[in-house]
Amino acid sequence: MLIFLKTLLLTLGILNLIIRKQFERRYKITHQNKVKIVAPVRERMLYLLVMFAFVVPDLLWVFSSWLIFAQIPMPTWVNIIGVFLGFFSLYFFYQTHQQQGDNWSGTLEIKQNHQLVTKGIYQYIRHPMYASFLLNSFVRILITANWMTMLPSFLAIVIMCFIRIPSEEKMMLETFGEDYHQYMQKSKRLIPFVL
Ligand code: SAH
């Protein structure tokens, strides 16, 4: 069972990177016509922080016994639910990129023909991609029964959300004005109808 869970965790991580790479390739074409960039160095650092906070604990859990101190008792059915939620969060992550289309970027920027997306998942929440990161972080503890596989990524996402969301919304308000203001009235930030 442990080998099965380790293989699945690695598979989820690799699929995540493949999805990201695919959209980064598309971004290489669209980013040439950007008209505004916000705090690129800070944004790059946040991106790296999140990346490390996900990848390093996963690799330690799979390939070493360093994180054994953080192992907690958990029934197998919870691990299985974690695996299903893991694939769901991956699909959710893919959908957010897909629905953002050419407007997507890994850091904060506005492109020449930037379109405000307010449909699909975006009709309910303004930051579904960050919500998918939070879900992705949470499912780790269900799959591994080890709180150290969740804590660093969870903290990194919370830090990222606190720093990035206000800057991103300010940038979007400056760009789209009343349209974004109205969109803010109709949607929540991270959890539909709640927050
Ligand atoms: N915060 C969003 C998008 C993350 S990608 C999410 O969590 O899904 C970051 C880029 O998306 C930003 O540079 C911004 O230009 C763009 N963006 C954010 N919200 C957008 C929206 N509703 N429509 C179009 N572009 C958006």
Asked if 76 and 70 touch (Cβ cutoff 8 Å), the reply is: no
Distance (Å, rounded) from C-alpha 78 to C-alpha 136?
A: 15
pLDDT confidence tier of residue 34, bands split at 50, 70 and 90:
confident
Give me ligand 1 centre to Cα 12, in Å. 24
Distance (Å, rounded) from C-alpha 140 to C-alpha 148?
A: 9
- What is the structure's pLDDT at 28? 81
- What is the structure's pLDDT at 186? 96
What stretch of H or E contains 37?
strand 34-37
Q: Is 109 in the pocket of ligand 1 (CB under 6 A)?
A: yes
Q: Is the pLDDT of residue 31 over 80?
A: no
Phi (first) and psi of residue 67, to 5 degrees: -95, 15
Give whole-number Cα distances, 24 to 27, 101, 177, 188, in Å. 5, 11, 28, 27
- The closest-lying atom of ligand 1 relative to the alpha carbon of residue 122 is 22
Q: Is 141 in the pocket of ligand 1 (CB under 6 A)?
A: no
64-96 pLDDT, tens per residue?
A: 999 999 999 999 999 999 999 999 999 999 999
Which residue from 38, 104, 162, 179 has its CB within 8 A of the most atoms of ligand 1, so it is best to mutate?
Answer: 104
Residues with Cβ within 8 Å of 70's Cβ and at least 6 positions away in sequence, in order, are 146, 147, 148, 149
For residue 90, give the nearest of 2, 149, 163, 8 by alpha carbon. Answer: 8
Sign of CA dihedral 151, 154, 158, 160: positive
Apex CA 95: angle with CA 77 and CA 88, to 5°?
A: 0
- Enter the tokens of residue 13: 């991580």
Q: Is the pLDDT of residue 162 over 80?
A: yes
Q: Is the pLDDT of residue 14 over 90?
A: yes
Q: Is the pLDDT of residue 103 over 80?
A: yes
Q: Is 165 in the pocket of ligand 1 (CB under 6 A)?
A: no
Q: Is the pLDDT of residue 132 over 90?
A: yes
Q: Which residue has the tokens 């596989």?
A: 149
Q: Which residue has the tokens 């939070």?
A: 134
Give whole-number Cα distances, 86 to 70, 89, 162, 165, in Å. 20, 5, 24, 24
- What is the structure's pLDDT at 124? 98
Q: Is 180 in the pocket of ligand 1 (CB under 6 A)?
A: no
